[in-house]
């Protein structure tokens, strides 16, 4: 039972890191996790606040829903069905969200990327995008083509107007343009699927955040930090193309952990000499804290094209490591510290306050809050895992 006086503190704890797994795998790739298909053997990422009627927190994962839906237990689906009001991180079905996001990404009027980036980085970026456009037809699946998703259309949907985007958004865009990510396009991510289901069931829906609250911190990085991040991103992509680098943890690893109901084996790694900074440590999920649903909408251009999942939108390179020069390690740690403050601490308190207010304003309603799962999410004795 949650005591009223402790509700706000509880909610802040529940939301701590709720939209990402700031993590590296403890034992390398996910291994030896047999996928159990009996419903009574499936672990649940559903928690309850015991009141009358009860309200729920559900931990989502930002991958195509078809990859995990069969492994979500019936108790979670039943809680969703029976709830009166469903809340997400952002309103995934509101056209204004897309419009605001598009505006947020653009450089000031009259500026182009070529005008603001160092010449070498701009040339490398353009060369990499030309490579992606050339390769994309071979990355597409027959199923995608059958749904009307073709290479030119998909490339333009993701990278169209890239010369007008702010460098930080171009960095995220580059990391969404990989073969694995392209092959997964066309199916709603779990969050969006739940939003569509809520709309179909005519449930009342809402969001605990606004686009600008997640967008502005990204645009708040200073120019040298953004150039550093974009350069590291290009270096990683160039190494992947050359075959000299392999991402150690994949979306497949995360899907397996989630489907087995086991995110505890993916932990936060404090060894910053070996791991990336706070905002890029996760492997196979959203690598920017607090932006999962936000980035799942990142490059949507039309209703016919499903939004990018967080895994597709926010993969960024492993910045902090022992091989970086001292001044670059300082830059990486500054970025790390900035995002901790803006997208974790401030954000958690803001979200917690809003959830608390909703529960207190509607004591006779059952809420279903669908936020991204994390290994340290809901570790609180005041909640009961169903």
For residue 53, is the peptide bond before it cis, meaning its omega torsion is within 30 degrees of 0?
yes
What number of other Cβ atoms are within 10 A of residue 167's Cβ?
23
pLDDT tens per residue, range 338-383:
888 887 788 878 888 999 999 999 999 999 999 877 533 433 323 3
**Kindly report the CA angle at 56 between 53 and 58, in degrees rounded to 5?**
160
Closest CA to 193 of 298, 61, 78: 61
Closest residue by Cα to residue 280 from 49, 22, 31, 59 = 22
pTM: 0.74
The mean predicted confidence, pLDDT, of the chain is 74
Measure the CA dihedral 347/348/352/354, to 10°: 10
Of 42-56, 232-246, 280-294, 316-330, the one with minimum mean pLDDT is: 280-294
Q: Is residue 293 predicted with pLDDT exceeding 60?
A: no
End-to-end CA distance of the chain: 13
Question: Given this model, what pLDDT does residue 249 score?
Answer: 60
* In contact, 72 and 59? CB cutoff 8 Å: no
In sequence order, what are the beta bridge partners of 60?
Answer: 372
What CA–CA distances, in Å, run from 13 to 78, 212, 220, 348, 369?
25, 23, 26, 8, 14
CA 269 to chain centre: 19
Q: What number of other Cβ atoms are within 10 A of residue 28's Cβ?
A: 10
Closest CA to 180 of 330, 315, 356: 315
pLDDT of residue 330: 87
Question: How confident is the model over 119-151, as pLDDT tens digits?
Answer: 999 999 999 999 999 999 999 999 999 888 889
> SS3 for 163?
helix
Model pLDDT, residue 245:
67
Tell which phi-psi region holds residue 202, choosing left (phi > 0), alpha (psi between -120 and 50) or beta. Answer: left
Strands 85-88 and 204-207: parallel
Give the pLDDT band (50/70/90) at residue 25: very low
The DSSP secondary-structure symbol of 370 reads: E
Cα distance between residue 206 and residue 150, in whole Å: 33
Picking from 308, 267, 270, 268, the residue whose alpha carbon sits closest to that of residue 291 is: 308
pLDDT on residue 142: 92
Which position has the token pair 């996790």? Answer: 33
E strand map for the chain: 24-25, 46-49, 55-60, 85-88, 204-207, 266-267, 367-372, 384-385
Could you give the C-alpha distances from 314 to 20, 69, 131, 178, 386, in angstroms and in order?
Answer: 11, 23, 20, 12, 31
Indicate if the alpha-carbon torsion angle 7, 13, 17, 23 is positive or negative.
negative
């Amino acid at each position: 039972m949650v005591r009223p006086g402790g509700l706000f503190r509880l909610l802040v704890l529940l939301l701590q890191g709720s939209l990402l797994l700031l993590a590296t795998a403890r034992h390398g790739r996910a291994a030896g996790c047999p996928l159990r298909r009996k419903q009574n053997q499936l672990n649940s990422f559903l928690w309850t606040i015991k009141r009358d009627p009860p309200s729920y927190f559900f931990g989502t994962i930002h991958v195509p829903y078809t990859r995990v839906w069969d492994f979500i237990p019936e108790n979670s689906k039943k809680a969703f069905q029976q709830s009166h009001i469903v809340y997400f991180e952002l309103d995934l079905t509101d056209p204004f969200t897309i419009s605001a996001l598009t505006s947020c990404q653009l450089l000031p009027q009259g500026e182009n990327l070529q005008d603001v980036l160092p010449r070498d980085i701009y040339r490398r970026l353009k060369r990499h995008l030309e490579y992606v456009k050339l390769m994309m037809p071979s990355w597409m699946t027959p199923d995608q083509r059958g749904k009307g998703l073709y290479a030119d259309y998909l490339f333009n949907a993701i990278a169209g107007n890239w010369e007008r985007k702010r460098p930080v958004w171009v960095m995220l865009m580059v990391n969404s343009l990989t073969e694995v990510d392209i092959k997964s396009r066309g199916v709603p991510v779990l969050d969006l699927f739940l939003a569509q289901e809520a709309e179909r069931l005519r449930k009342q829906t809402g969001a605990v955040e606004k686009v600008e609250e997640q967008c502005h911190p990204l645009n708040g990085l200073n120019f040298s930090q953004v150039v550093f991040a974009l350069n590291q991103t290009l270096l990683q992509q160039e190494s992947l193309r050359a075959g000299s680098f392999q991402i150690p943890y994949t979306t497949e690893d995360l899907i397996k952990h989630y489907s087995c109901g086991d995110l505890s084996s993916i932990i936060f790694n404090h060894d910053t000499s070996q791991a990336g900074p706070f905002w890029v440590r996760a492997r196979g999920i959203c690598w920017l804290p607090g932006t999962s649903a936000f980035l799942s909408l990142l490059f949507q251009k039309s209703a016919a094209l499903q939004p990018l999942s967080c895994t597709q939108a926010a993969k960024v390179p492993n910045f902090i490591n022992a091989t970086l020069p001292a001044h670059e390690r300082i830059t990486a740690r500054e970025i790390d510290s900035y995002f901790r403050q803006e997208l974790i601490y401030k954000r958690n308190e803001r979200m917690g306050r809003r959830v608390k207010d909703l529960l207190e304003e509607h004591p006779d309603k059952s809420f279903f809050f669908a936020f991204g799962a994390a290994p340290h999410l809901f570790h609180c004795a005041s909640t009961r895992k169903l």
